[in-house]
Amino acid sequence: MVYWRTLAPGIIEMAPEVKKIFEMHPDAATVPFGFATGQHQFLVADPALKKLENSVFVSNGRIRVHEKGLTVETRQSLVVAATGRNERKD
């Protein structure tokens, strides 16, 4: 069994269409990616996944409204170190 915990602080822009979702308006609709941005950290129990604990992920999310309720979707990207260092020699 794999266990992980995600810590994901972020910012949600409370645009009118997003606010409708949180206020449960009957005309609320799916919002596009771009209103929610976050940063993710993972705590894992499986030694094979320990590399995730030392990684930084950034994300962009949206909320889908459908007949069964809400679904939160995120696109996550791993931040990697730059590969080409342009070092100055003064």
Full residue range of the structural domain in which residue 69 is found? 4-79
Give CA–CA dist 39/9, Å, rounded. Answer: 6
Residue 89 lies in a domain: no
pLDDT, one tens digit per residue, over 45-78 is 888 988 888 888 999 999 999 999 999 999 999 9
pLDDT at 1 over 60: no
Predicted local distance difference test score (pLDDT) of residue 49: 87
Residue 84 lies in a domain: no
CB proximity list for 50: less than 8 A, separation 6 or greater: 44
Predicted local distance difference test score (pLDDT) of residue 36: 92
How many structural domains is the chain composed of? 1
Residue 90 lies in a domain: no
Predicted local distance difference test score (pLDDT) of residue 41: 86
With a pLDDT cut of 90, the percent of the chain lying above it is: 56
Residue 12 lies in a domain: yes
Residue 57 lies in a domain: yes
